[in-house]
Structure 1
């Protein structure tokens, strides 16, 4: 009985961990590696195991850095079941098919260049159809519903509060009368965030795998965050420019819409035309509306008493390419929410091209920006951004409200772990090296424990 760490080891994306028990193999997540071109190319590598040997996958949530290689796993031989929350399955239908589309489009344009150069053509990582085929492997598991996956393995999901349907994974393992409780945090949400409940606190485990994305920092408190966001919107209107918000299509987009609704008058949002410019975000927002029963109390009451809390009187959802292109003719008065969240693709890149060089423009960064992404360059104060080979001068004002995060901060991570009464063995995953080092030192100082910082292909016996 052991766990091998095969992704998100001293890196934020590519979540994948292998549990071996009773001659069975179970994957926790099977996510894409995201970042620059060199990092993304690693997704084409062979899996460090035979996909046909995997009996089951347990999926913590729908974000592609946790789910995005599932179609590839199936294409290469996996025939088991994928256990996930029902909302996660609905979101995966949207996210994985979109990823397949982007793969196909990327391969198409790459092959155009290769044909002219007489080079060998490339295949997409996987196609839209392969993404659709993935859906028949999913098996829904609601929160707090104990499910026996196979002999010696019992699963229970708990709300992680990160995105809709996100799960903390609790596994009871038994091999040769030797029992262990494994808890995988998945991605832990930021307590007090809109729409979703706070992460569930558990009290018992033998080993805990915990994310550490923001292990080196504290988030700004929510009141100050909303004040900065509202102030930025009000000030931007007087400067007669546009506001661009690169937002993850699942989670952050819906939080923004909910908060725009709650603060509509205070933030003077009636002065703006608001556009949700992402077909995937539009579909995801509809899924969020479907699952209001798992919202936190205030949001659930809003949905019950006042209708859809994700709707706004001046919100336009632009699905078509033509409608999206038309937004680039707007010189002022538009708030454009578009993917991708790290500005690595999607429609936001086109809007950046048309607005970054304008002094009147504003860019509000509302999510984590991985190393070597355009979004990270904006946060780090770059003077230029290269888009499609063209250097764009960054004259727009870039704002990063510190509290807008879907991940727990350092204190949130420590507080969540402190609920385990027996101080179980702790392994840090899903974080950059410096953040993990700082978090480990803080845990040692505060709780007198020495967590393991997972390394690639490291195996821990249970």
Structure 2
């Protein structure tokens, strides 16, 4: 008799990013997702460390969708020896064709800047996680798989995709293992909410042995948002920002789907006279290329005609070159800029923030989830100053947040989706969430699944999927690459940066040099104790 399958959680466990799940069964080794970690410096360091498995021994990769926290380490996997197929929907493949090379470009650019600083400081230089060449090689390994169509992986294992309603091409993954004790698993991927502008509602069959379910917003209940309500909320924010005639509304946004949804709604509101006509500038080459892909898939989208109309609008501009992006610093009159990344961690949004955060006539509108330790979360939490590319920036702009463009289902919708998958015979694993969201999600679905059958794994934990339920085998494995208490939280670097900013503020507000010296002496005394 063959040994029981082994399921390992190498990312998005106790934290939101870095999605990567490993299934070993029948002598085969399969990955579901291979995503990049975002958030604190401690988590992002995992992107540079070795995988906890040998990429050369992986037989197949199944990709739920194109977002970088699910796909972003695929080129690293290929760079280190993976040569097999990467199964994904056609929409996901098309988006990855622009997102993975863009990710490589960002890494090469940022590492070049870092190494310039390291050389000046006599520190060791570093290499990017992967290069554009690695990303291009990865694209040759993608294999398209339509929704609802079975794909045989060999050795009595087969998979198929179900619409997840999260993003163009997003899918939940069904895996069926045929043996003396057959096993059916469902990986939710990221699940979309109701009333998503461009996506239909998620779907999947009933009756599973194991379900791996995302929990990003497990602790949140949004108001039921219709298209009209969502646009009214956006309308109010734009009109408030536009009171400053020489101001700007800066929207950090994921380049893929969130940008296209915002673009469609802004153009709609201008057409209807609900907000002032003004330039809407998409300051992201990736978003520009992604928009073309969405346009090509418009017939598959909900409200695809609305998006096509927005793209043709004379209010809308796209920047491509660095020079075009830099010129935005000199735009006169109220305007709207949408720039990546959505959590303010990289890309052109940082340049826009450097130019506008210190100005009272600016407004920054956060429109999505901000992971712990990211610049977006730090702004959302009310920081008075932030550090961007080594410069300290005072925060005088209005910082606003709305939660009507989320690509994720809220807690109630997640619970409803999981309930619709019943019966779940052995276990539900809750992933892709921070501590509070995971605990709230567990409480929500305890009656649906049974509290004793709900598991919250941590990074690098593993379970043997026995015929009568899962067995945690983590204690028999090497220690995790990051302590569970560190994942999904601010780390020492966040605390250090906050301390430096607080110290600088205290020194600025001190009455005179004597008071400043007293503050410095107290710090020195604390260090010596």
**Is TM more than 0.5 here?**
yes
> How do residues 327-346 of structure 1 correspond to structure 2 at under 5 angstroms?
327-346=328-347
Report what 2:471 is aligned to.
none
Identify the residue that residue 355 of structure 1 maps to in structure 2: 356
Kindly tell me: are residues 355 and 119 of structure 1, through their superposed partners in 2, closer, same or farther at Cα, counting changes over 3 Å? closer
Question: Structure 1 residues 252 and 300, CA, compared in 2 at 3 Å: closer, same or farther?
Answer: closer
Moved more, 280-289 or 384-393: 384-393
- Give the total of aligned pairs: 456
Correspondence for 1:53 among 54, 57, 67 = 57
In 2: Cα distance, 1:48 partner to 1:329 partner: 48
Instruction: State the match for 2:111 in structure 1.
Output: 107
Q: Give a deviation string over 1:94-149, Cα, whole Å, max 9, x none.
A: 11111111111122122222223333321111001111111111100011111112
SS of 1:416's equivalent? Answer: helix
1:390-436 deviation line (CA, Å, top 9, x unaligned): 22221211221122210010001001011123134210011111110
- Contact 2:172-2:204 within 8 A present in 1 as well: no
Conserved? CA contact 1:225–1:401, under 8 Å: no
- Separation in structure 1 between the aligned mates of residue 312 and residue 447 of structure 2, nearest angstrom: 46
Deviations 1:128-175 (A, max 9, x none): 111111111110001111111222111111111111101111111123
2:25 is the alignment partner of 1:24: no
1:309 Cα deviation (Å)?
A: 4.8
* Aligned counterpart, 2:320: 319
- CA deviation after TM superposition for structure 1 residue 270, in Å: 4.8
**SS in structure 2 opposite 1:103?**
helix
Which residue pairs with 1:44 in the alignment? 48
Q: Which runs of 5+ in 1 are unaligned?
A: none
Contact 2:364/2:400 (<8 A) preserved: yes
- Inter-partner Cα distance in structure 2 for 1:309 and 1:233: 17
Task: Note the C-alpha offset of 1:448.
Answer: 4.2
Is the 1:242–1:331 contact (alpha carbons within 8 Å) kept by the matching residues of 2?
Answer: no
Matched, 1:271 2:273: no
Q: Mapping of 1:419-458 within 5 angstroms?
A: 419-424=420-425, 425-445=427-447, 448-450=450-452, 451-458=454-461
Closer/same/farther in 2, CA of residues 267 and 2 from structure 1, 3 Å limit: farther
Asked whether the 8 Å contact 2:188–2:212 carries over to 1, the reply is yes
Using the size of structure 1 for normalisation, the TM-score is: 0.95
How far apart are the structure 2 equivalents of 1:449 and 1:293? 43
SS at match of 1:33: coil
Q: 1:236 aligns with which of 208, 229, 241?
A: 241
Show the counterpart of 1:206: 209
In structure 2, the gaps of 5 or more residues are 466-529
Q: What SS does structure 2 have at the residue aligned with 1:49? A: coil
Cα distance, 1:302 vs structure 2:
4.9
Counterpart of 1:281 in structure 2 is 287
Q: For the residues of structure 2 that align with 1:351 and 1:109, how far apart are their CA atoms?
A: 18
The CA deviation at 1:328 is 0.7
Q: Which has the larger radius of gyration?
A: 2
**Conservation of the 8 A alpha-carbon contact between 1:221 and 1:403:** no
What TM-score results when the alignment is normalised by the length of structure 2? 0.83
Question: Counterpart in 2 of 1:461?
Answer: 464
Q: Tell which deviates more after alignment, 199-208 or 370-379.
A: 199-208
